[in-house]
Structure 1
Amino acid sequence: MSPRLFPHVDKVAHFGVFFILAFISHHAFKFKVWFHLLLLSLYGAGIEWMQDSLPYRQASTADFIADVAGAISYFVLFYFWARWRKKQHG
């Protein structure tokens, strides 16, 4: 096993990847926010479920939580950015 930069670096990676997936999903499809979050949550759950069926891998609730947190964080950040931008530009 390779040395890690810091504890739980994989959770940071899960968070970041799902933040980026939320950005891509949001710009590619004009769904309601709740539907984006549902799809991304199902995708994260599916990944964990499939991992659990592979030898030498296991599902992780913490990974799933990091996935969902990354997606939610994107939409929260986008909401506040859009409000700020609207105030700036009228």
Structure 2
Amino acid sequence: MWLTLLVVYCGVIFYLSHQSSLPTPRLFPHQDKLFHATAYGILGFLAFAYFKQLFAELRTALIIALVFSALYGASDEWHQSFVVGRDADIFDWFADCLGATLVISVMKRFSAKKQTTIQ
């Protein structure tokens, strides 16, 4: 199930990134960074949930989920460089990585507590 959700969500990110512009009300400066962090926080959640099923070691799942999220974010920024009206932005990628890192770290902490409680 997690793999299906992860693949579908990657497709959603790709689709949205392929749009020339997305209608969003301007609420505050640099709000796009918050959108990036949120979107990639969700991606990190799905990636960690999936990789946690594959690997017994939580640390391994965490590292692979982080690398996956960062690489997908980098490929998404590169993809946007070919879309009319969009551009690649290293700070968007930083926001992607930050969002994924925060969510995955929280998930690892809860997963570790759950394992400790079970033992």
Q: If the length of structure 1 is used for normalisation, what is the TM-score?
A: 0.81
CA-to-partner distance for each residue in 1:8-57, whole Å, 9 max, x for gaps? Answer: 11110110111111111111233521111111111000110011122221
Give the match for residue 12 of structure 1.
34
Tell me which of 49, 65, 72 is aligned to 1:36. 65
Supply the RMSD in Å over aligned alpha carbons. 2.1
Larger RCO (alpha carbons 8 Å, 6+ apart): 1
Superposed, which structure 2 residues align to 1:11-90 within 5 Å? 11-29=33-51, 30-31=54-55, 32=60, 33-85=62-114
Counterpart-to-counterpart distance in 1, 2:111 and 2:87: 39
Q: Give the partner amino acid of 1:24.
A: L
Unaligned stretches of 5+ in structure 1?
none
Unaligned stretches of 5+ in structure 2?
1-22
Q: Percent identity?
A: 32
* Alpha-carbon shift at residue 86 of structure 1 (Å): 5.8
- What is the number of residues matched between the two proteins? 90
